Amino acid sequence: MEPFAARVARPTCYACLRPQMACYCAELAPIESRPRIVILMHPLEARHPIATGRLAHRALSNSSLLVGAEFGPHSEAARIVADPSVLPLLLFPGPESQPLDDGGGRAILDECDSSDIEPVIFVLDATWSLARKMLHRSPVLQQIRRVSFRAGARSRFLVRRQPAPECLSSLEAIDRVLRSFGGGLDGALSIFHRMVDFQLGARST
């Protein structure tokens, strides 16, 4: 008999990277959003088993997901920013950030409709400290307008530590953005809540 039993890996879904018993792929019903969302995912986030940016991307049929720690002048992110047919915006808080609440999203849509351009919002998918580093290392993102929303309900992302109660996961933040434009991610949020409950239950056993 072997002194150490071989570990049997849990069957994994290679689309959502979740254990097959917790796979959510069959529940996804992707929708098209306006504005279009471009998720800039840090490589460390890409390896995380509960990467909510990945779920948001798969829930939005017209979104893009780009992985990198920085985005230079020859990156796909830079190509989108330079496209004259789009209005690039960065979701990032700060005093110079344009609020999306109270009609701010509708005002951006009106601006785009009058100019016949497409609004595109970039979302940094990383921890807050890594997101700041990504922005610092990506001058192409520093030059575009920023948008944000007011703090609201606390995050349901209870399986990861947040720097402040009002900080949201990438999926929750994207849902808040889309709601300011008249949309939302109800289906993906439902999957997200069950995914968190599954992880919490696994920890308690």
Rg (CA), the chain: 18
| Contact call for residues 97 and 146 (beta carbons, < 8 A) | yes
Buried b (16+ CB within 10 A) or exposed e, 82-91: eeeebbbbbb
What's the maximum distance between 2 C-alpha atoms anywhere in the chain? 75
| Contact call for residues 33 and 63 (beta carbons, < 8 A) | yes
Query: Does 30 sit behind a cis peptide bond, omega within 30 degrees of 0 on the bond before it?
Result: no
Which domains are seen in the chain, by residue range? Answer: 30-192 (3.40.1280)
pLDDT at 195: 82
SS3 content of the chain, % helix, strand, coil (to 5): 40, 15, 45
Q: Which residue has the tokens 């497409």?
A: 118
Q: How many helices (H) and strands (E) does the chain have?
A: 8, 6
SS (H, E, C) 5-63: CCCCCCCECCCCCCEHHHCCHHHCCCECCCCEEEEEECHHHHCCCCCHHHHHHHHECCC
Mean pLDDT by 10 residues, the chain (205 residues): 51 80 86 97 87 93 97 97 98 94 96 96 94 97 95 68 70 95 94 80 61
Distances from the Cα of 127 to the Cα of 97, 122, 134, 174, angstroms: 20, 15, 10, 15
The H-assigned helical ranges of 61-169 are: 76-82, 104-115, 128-136, 139-142
What is the reported pTM?
0.88
